[in-house]
Copies of this chain bind each other. A is one copy, B any other.
Amino acid sequence: MNIPRTSYPRIVIIGGGFAGVALAKKLSKQEVQVVLLDKNNYHTFQPLLYQVSTGGLEPDSIAYPIRKILKDFPNFYFRLANVEEIDTKKNKIRTNIGNLKFDYLVVASGSKTNYFGNSEIEKHSMAMKTIPQSLNLRSLILENFEDALLTSDLNERNALMNFVIVGGGPTGVELAGALAEIKKGILPKDYPDLDTRLAQINIIQSSDCILKGMSVKASAKAEDFLEKLGVNIWKNVRVTNYDGKTVTTNTDLIFESATVVWAAGVKGATIKGLEAEEFMTRGNRLLVNVFNQLKGFEHIFAIGDIACMVNEEFPNGLPMMAQPAIQQGNQLGDNILKLIEEQPMEPFNYKDKGAMATIGRNKAVVDLKRFKFQGIFAWYVWMFIHLFFLIGFRNRMVVFVNWVYNYVRFDREARLIIRPFKKRFKV
């Protein structure tokens, strides 16, 4: 892979998400060689993907060139590569651009959408885990409105304007809120000849509450906010299939819909070579010890969504969120240096900073350790925290300008079909 061998130990990091980037930054000024591999040349700020899908933001403001994050560090190498296999015996990885030996390997490959084996749903529904997926969803939503204008078949028009979001976690809730605001603020102006009432937004949640990981109060308030925005919430309903036209469920309920967003679950993005039973857990995550080490290895680690670290509070593993990923990346940076210097490593100790979700204009729910609050102040906190965690001054400025504009004007201007999703719109 054309990377020079130096006297420094080589640490290979697979994945430039929150975990991988935090780790790489931590190691950047040390006497180690860091090779970061990712399928994309950018880091994605996933919490704001739903705003890309709904025309509120453009992808460049929530993505950041990985090369730029680490540009001033002489021992840092980035390669745009797809890792195909890990050979734990020979300490080697195989990628689409060649092989690479490692001294230390950190798997930070993240997670991907979990369809629980249903290939029909996978084929016909939209996911929102990556920027291209989010742009596809944006195109589809706008294309469906254009198509709704053209048909004189009321059932078809209904289906084109009926949104089904499967999964009532933060992704589903935030997307539903944004769609409700489009329905209210943009649809009547942009499509005066469409009956706005036909636009229905549905969240289907398999359990008895939305935002399951958050407090009861946050969940109840989020539900209240969504209902006020006109979102239909269907609880204790499980989607059984979607054939591109009809969503069937385990109840009598069916939905005719041209836009089904699958936000019902994620699973670890595993890599060939790491399937040993002793560390592969539920949801394809890799079981690690308190040092993020894979069982049986001193020099192979997993961090972030792909890692499953259990403790008393989280017997199924830490939540698959940005905070554990960043904290693990930071901690592992210190630990790898300790390991190299043959000092004892520190066990990872997750500091739960809470969770939050925004539902719409002036509406958010925030659970901090000591305070739980909802409403307009929560919304400001949500915005401030998201701006703060965005990488890059320019990104923060551009997102800020967009948010102020969208707030003042009740608008979302990035409603452009730049890359059509449906065949019919391709020219």
Interface residues of A: mostly helix, strand, loop or mixed? mixed
Binds B, one of A253-261, A298-306, A392-400: A392-400
Given known pairs A98-B150, A150-B98, A394-B402, the reply for A67 and B190 (CB within 8 Å) is yes
- B residues less than 8 Å from A59 (CB atoms): 58, 416, 418
Scan A79-104; emit 1 where CB is below 8 A from any B CB, else 0: 11010000000000000111000000
A71 interface residue, CB < 8 Å from B? yes
Give A188's nearest chain B residue, CB to CB. Answer: B71
Q: Which of A38-46, A168-176, A281-289, A327-335 contacts B (4 or more CB under 8 A)?
A: A38-46
The reply to whether the CB of A244 lies closer than 8 angstroms to some CB of chain B is: no
| Per-residue B-contact encoding for A374-406, CB less than 8 Å = 1, 0 else | 000000000000000000111101100110010
Assess A2 versus B416: contact at CB under 8 Å? Given A394-B402, A397-B405, A402-B398.
no
| A343 contact set on B, CB distance < 8 A | none
Interface stretch among A203-211, A235-243, A313-321, A419-427? A419-427
Which B residues touch A401, using CB under 8 A? 394, 397-398, 401
Known: A190-B71, A424-B96, A427-B39. A418 touches B63 (CB 8 A): yes
| Contact yes or no, B2 A65, CB < 8 A | no
- Distance in angstroms from A235 CB to nearest chain B CB is 36
Which chain B residues lie closer than 8 Å to A427 at the CB level?
Answer: 39-40, 82
Q: Which of A67, A68, A132 has the most CB of B within 10 A?
A: A67
Scan A35-71; emit 1 where CB is below 8 A from any B CB, else 0: 0000111100000000000000011110111011001
Q: Flag if B60 contacts A97 (CB, 8 Å).
A: no
The answer to the question of A414 belonging to the interface, with a C-beta cut-off of 8 Å to chain B, is: yes
Top 3 nearest A-B pairs by Cβ distance? A58-B60, A67-B190, A60-B414
